[in-house]
Amino acid sequence: MNLMRKQILLLSVLIAAVSLNARAEEECNPTPSPDSSLVAFTRGGDLYVRSASGEGERRLTFDGSDVILNGYASWVYYEEILGRSTRYKAFWWSPDSRKIVFYRFDDSQVGRFPIWSEAGQYGSLKITRYPKAGTPNPSVRIGIAAADGSSLQWCSFPDAPGRSFGTPFWAPGSQMLCVPSEPSRGQDKLEIYRVDASEATSELIYTEQYNTWLDWPENVYAAGVGFYMVRSFESGWEQIYFLSYDGKTFRRLTDGQNWDVRIVRADERKGELWFMAKRGSRLHPALYYLDRKGRITELSSPDYWASKPEFSEDGKKVKLRLSTAAEPWTDVVCDARKSWRKTPSSMPAAAEPEPWAPRPVCIENDCFQLYGLISYPKGFDPSRRYPVVMQIYGGPGTPYVRDFWKSRDASDAWCTDNGAIYLVADPRSSGENGRAGMDEAFRQVTVKELGDYLAWAKYLKSLPYVDRIGVKGFSFGGTSTAMLVLRYPEYFCCGIAGGGVYDWSLYDSHYTERFMQTPEENPDGYAAASVLNYVDGLDPARVGRLMITHGTADDNVHLQNSLQLVDALQKAGIQFELMLYPGGMHGYRGAQKAHSDSLEAQFWKRWLF
């Protein structure tokens, strides 16, 4: 009898463990409350709360399905608004742990896109909800749920066709939160609403308009009576502003040519603020101190890329990591209020970098400064001639020239070891030229950027030791690469285009329309930016050698793009190379990454050397 009881007890424990494990596997984005007593998560399109110990599960919404998603982001919000780091999480705890604000997405009107998998005997088909340019977006409601399940209220906002919402943020007291919103698909107007957490009523406290597009507020620093935010609508550069929660106080706190601004610390009582920015350099973010009189002090040298500021307990010192692509990371300690020039011992001693280490280079085109990082092969001899591999991207506000140690694209070991010069190059719209450069892309993405890449090619050709030029890029960079190799083979003899958008009407609504508006509003711009439109009429004997690569399960830039380009090239009689990665997503990993690297090396040996 005792043995039987033990067996029953053991079986019960095992069943409970299996049940708990199964539930844990189903939980998506488990997020502890600020007081660590509860955990919120989503499952099957609904929002749940349980105790931190795993007991007492409570369901807060009840209509989740394959098209209704409570607290779990619709794909386009995950990719373009909330960000990949959220892992689809679309709910936020109040500071007092008593409420959760969440987004409810309705994907029922969003277009269905099939993604096929080759795995198994018959393969399988996954249907995704993906709004392409000009097609319906998900509709969104914002709910505020009591963590104890006692109430669920829906926030009210003025009706506006095409309204979308950014990342909300709570005020410290948990009585209110702020919700950024863009009322139209044009993305040229931003509104911020204050929402009463008890009544779920909203009040407009801020409006901003710009003649091209506006980005969402990021790196918002919420304080007691208001919040600090970074905007770029006024001076052509990013500035820091303070806005009170009632909308009555709005102050600009900085001036000058700032970019990539990130607020890292603020003392509302003393009127002090610390921020990182590319201010003294277009390439390197440094740490800055803003005092109550509006004076800005440079705390770290703009000759280095500064990262990971950590303040001492008393707030008098700050530790930073500094590096360049040629110099490894060094930890330094700076005074939190004095210029680094007055404390030179806090800066690292200059070390002689390796001869093949990346070095910044700058050229000019159409009065815009274009930045790059160039590295030379081992044993470089300027009396010889070398091929060049040029790495590009080109998306507005997304620089690929990142001058810090072991930056992903700053150098290329294969080029260094195999006798090729390597250059990562940015166009005018990458951000180093502020809004003026970025705005050049409006309604005509790739057009001005291609001119800048040609300027880079002309610069390279002017160097006595440069031979032929190959180009490569992924995603937006794949688009740019295909354009250059097919249309300008006199400069780019070959190229590798990975995961590219070859017709912008095939890409997602929010990203594409931010820069291009809808296909109906801007048909000429879409035509000019489509690689497919240039294929017919090309001389097959004249074009450069193009390698196309794509992951077959890419849910970001669909394989459809490459297949349509393949079809157009075949019909035009143009030879090319193609590599597909089964089940590959938007970027290759593991064995596929190793294969892709080897493939690139072989391609350059065949067509560039």
Segment 415-435, tens digit of pLDDT: 999 999 999 999 999 999 999
Specify the pLDDT at position 9.
42
H or E, element range at 457: helix 447-461
Are 392 and 478 contacting, i.e. CB atoms less than 8 angstroms apart? no
- pLDDT value at residue 350: 62
Q: Residue 6 — very low, low, confident or very high, per pLDDT cuts 50/70/90?
A: very low
Fill in the DSSP letter of residue 452.
H
**Which DSSP letter does residue 587 get?**
B
Residues 370-429: pLDDT tens digits? 999 999 999 999 999 999 999 999 999 999 999 999 998 888 999 999 999 999 999 999
State which fold the 359-607 domain adopts: Rossmann fold (3.40.50)
| CA 112 to chain centroid | 24
Assign 343 a pLDDT band (cuts: 50, 70, 90): low
Taking the C-alpha atoms of residue 64 and residue 603, their distance in angstroms, rounded to an integer, is: 49
Q: Would residue 434 be called left, alpha or beta, if left means φ above 0 and alpha means ψ between -120 and 50 degrees?
A: left
* Contact indicator for 491, 543 with CB cutoff of 8 Å: no
**Strand spans (E) along 385-502:** 386-391, 421-425, 466-474, 494-498
Q: How far is CA 440 from CA 26, 281, 306, in A?
A: 46, 22, 29
Q: Judge whether residue 11 has pLDDT over 50.
A: no
> Per-domain residue ranges for the chain?
359-607
Average pLDDT over residues 262-270: 94
Name residue 54's amino acid. Answer: G
Mean pLDDT of the 320-336 span = 94
Decide: 27 and 35 in contact? Cβ < 8 Å: no
Q: Is the pLDDT of residue 19 over 50?
A: no
Query: Which residues have a Cβ under 8 Å from the Cβ of 333 and sit 6 or more positions away?
Result: 317, 318, 319, 320, 346
Report phi then psi at 4, rounded to 5.
-65, -40
Residue 261 in 3-state DSSP? strand
| Range of lowest pLDDT (13-27, 138-152, 188-202, 522-536) | 13-27
- Which residues fall within 8 angstroms of residue 53, CB to CB, at 6 or more apart? none
Q: Would you say residue 25 has pLDDT above 80? A: no
The predicted-structure confidence for 229-259, as pLDDT tens digits, reads as follows: 999 999 999 999 999 999 999 999 999 999 9
For 495, the token pair is 């190229």
CA distance 482 to 390: 13
**Residue 569 reports pLDDT greater than 50:** yes
Beta-strand runs (E) in 523-566: 545-551
Whole-number pLDDT of residue 476: 98
Rg (CA), the chain: 27
Is the distance from CB of 357 to CB of 411 less than 8 angstroms? yes
Is the distance from CB of 173 to CB of 95 less than 8 angstroms? yes
pLDDT at position 344, please? 55
* pLDDT at residue number 346: 59
Cα(376)–Cα(386) distance, integer angstroms:
9
When comparing pLDDT for 460 and 23, which is higher?
A: 460
CA 222 – CA 215 distance, rounded (Å) = 19
Q: How far apart are CA 551 and CA 475, in angstroms?
A: 11
Q: What is the mean pLDDT of residues 87-105?
A: 98
Residues in contact with 12: Cβ distance below 8 Å, sequence separation at least 6, in sequence order? none
Maximum mean pLDDT: which of 1-5, 329-333, 343-347, 435-439: 435-439
Tokens for 98? 């008593």
CB 129 within 8 A of CB 116: no
pLDDT of 41 above 60: yes
**Among candidates 367, 390, 383, 375, which has minimal Cα distance to 463?**
383
At 3 the pLDDT is 45
Judge whether residue 186 has pLDDT over 70.
yes
Between the alpha carbon of residue 133 and those of residues 68, 110, 183, 402, 521, the distances in Å are 22, 11, 17, 30, 11
pLDDT digit string (tens) for 449-483? 999 999 999 999 999 999 999 999 999 999 999 99
Closest residue by Cα to residue 452 from 554, 568, 369: 369
Predicted pLDDT at 349 = 65
Using CA atoms, how far apart are residues 150 and 146, in angstroms rounded to an integer?
A: 6
Specify the pLDDT at position 55.
86
